[in-house]
């Protein structure tokens, strides 16, 4: 027997998805064919995906299909075969992307800071570095993750998030890039024009000349842990060591919640493991579908 609370969650998710389709999402998945009004609707496909990830913690599409077919067949009587279900989901990557962005913008907590932002990135791995990456070559390549100490094929998820006292930061913007893309380059291309903001990042963002210009033009600054200077005399390292340690620890303490945010994403959606993905469309759905499911937390 299906738990009543679970049924309520499914209904709430379906109602939310239908509302979003009615107001904005329908224009991103319009069909210009004889099958423009399928019996098994896009709203149902999206609802199943979000429900299975957010409520049931079923992260693989095969698990989702099997679960719905077994326990909710009367709710979704027009459910396709597994192969057709996969194809339908992979066609909706853009819908999931717009949906995740909508959740970020429409459900902003009250205690979000508009002055302090946190920056970081995490890998999404399609296969290990020992193998030859063959999936979604348009956006994936090989790189090294210093945190995990491994080479991998895949992409990077870059996040700009607003600081919140005693809470996980609220994401402002999510950018997907090739794994080898430098974090500072992503910042320059996407977030450098933001004015009157203090950013907290790791050592990859150290570039004094560039951020001096950013401060003059936009009154924004980047705070990072102190980066060691190559070939600096030992006496100078020792002279500044106490100050550098305290300053770096303070910056890292403020920045730490964004690492917790990534850990929360991984725990809620298993987003980091994309080894079952077989196409560019599948990778897009894997990333933004998991993000949309995680961001349902902001809604409910």
The pLDDT of residue 82 is 96
> Average pLDDT of 105-130?
93
Which range among 17-31, 135-149, 169-183 shows the weakest confidence by mean pLDDT?
Answer: 17-31
Which tens digits make up the pLDDT trace of 251-260? 999 999 999 9
As given in the structure block, the two tokens for residue 143 are 């790189």
- Give strand ranges (E) for the chain: 116-128, 141-145, 150-162, 170-178, 198-200, 221-223
> Average pLDDT of 226-249?
78
> Any residues with CB less than 8 A from the CB of 276 and at least 6 apart, and which?
60, 61
Which tens digits make up the pLDDT trace of 197-221? 999 999 999 999 999 999 999 999 9
> Average pLDDT of 3-30?
88
Nearest CA-CA partner of 223 in 236, 207, 237: 207
Report the SS3 class of residue 177: strand
> Average pLDDT of 123-128?
95
- What is the spatial distance between Cα 113 and Cα 195, in angstroms, rounded to a whole number? 14
Which tens digits make up the pLDDT trace of 169-179? 999 999 999 99
Nearest CA-CA partner of 260 in 118, 97, 93, 90: 118
> Any residues with CB less than 8 A from the CB of 160 and at least 6 apart, and which?
117, 118, 119, 171, 172, 173, 175, 190, 191
Which tens digits make up the pLDDT trace of 21-44? 988 887 776 554 555 678 899 999
- What is the spatial distance between Cα 111 and Cα 235, in angstroms, rounded to a whole number? 45
- What is the spatial distance between Cα 91 and Cα 284, in angstroms, rounded to a whole number? 9
Are 113 and 162 in contact by the 8 Å Cβ rule? The answer is yes
> Any residues with CB less than 8 A from the CB of 249 and at least 6 apart, and which?
none
> Any residues with CB less than 8 A from the CB of 54 and at least 6 apart, and which?
9, 13, 268, 293, 294, 296, 297
First to last CA, the chain: 24
Q: Where are the domains of the chain?
A: 4-91, 111-275
Does the pLDDT value for residue 231 go beyond 80?
Answer: no
The pLDDT of residue 108 is 92
Rg (CA), the chain: 22
Nearest CA-CA partner of 300 in 102, 54, 58: 54
As given in the structure block, the two tokens for residue 173 are 């913007």
Which tens digits make up the pLDDT trace of 155-170? 999 999 999 999 999 9
- Compute the Cα dihedral for 43, 45, 47, 50 and give only its sign: negative
């Amino acid at each position: 027997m299906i738990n009543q609370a679970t049924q309520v969650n499914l209904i709430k998710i379906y109602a939310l998805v239908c509302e979003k389709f009615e107001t904005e999402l329908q224009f991103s998945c319009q069909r210009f064919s004889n099958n423009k009004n399928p019996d098994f609707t896009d709203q149902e496909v999206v609802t199943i995906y979000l429900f299975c990830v957010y409520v049931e913690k079923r992260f693989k599409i095969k698990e989702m299909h099997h679960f719905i077919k077994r326990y909710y067949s009367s709710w979704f009587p027009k459910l396709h075969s597994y192969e057709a279900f996969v194809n339908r989901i992979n066609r909706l990557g853009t819908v999931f992307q717009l949906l995740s962005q909508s959740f970020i913008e429409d459900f902003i907590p009250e205690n979000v800071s508009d002055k302090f932002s946190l920056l970081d990135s995490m890998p999404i791995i399609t296969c290990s570095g020992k193998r030859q990456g063959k999936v979604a070559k348009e956006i994936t390549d090989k790189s090294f993750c210093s945190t995990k100490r491994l080479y991998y094929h895949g992409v990077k998820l870059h996040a700009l998030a607003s600081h919140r006292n005693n809470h996980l930061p609220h994401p402002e913007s999510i950018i997907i890039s090739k794994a080898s893309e430098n974090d500072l380059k992503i910042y320059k291309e996407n977030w450098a024009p933001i004015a009157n903001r203090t950013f907290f990042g790791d050592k990859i963002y150290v570039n004094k000349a560039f951020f001096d210009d950013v401060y003059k033009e936009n009154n924004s600054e980047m705070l990072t842990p102190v980066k060691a200077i190559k070939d600096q005399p030992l006496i100078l390292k020792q002279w500044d060591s106490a100050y550098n340690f305290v300053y770096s620890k303070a910056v890292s303490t403020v920045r730490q919640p964004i690492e917790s945010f990534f850990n929360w994403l991984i725990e809620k959606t298993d987003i980091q493991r994309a080894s079952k993905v077989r196409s560019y469309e599948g990778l897009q759905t894997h990333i933004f579908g998991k993000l949309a499911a995680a961001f349902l937390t902001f809604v409910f």
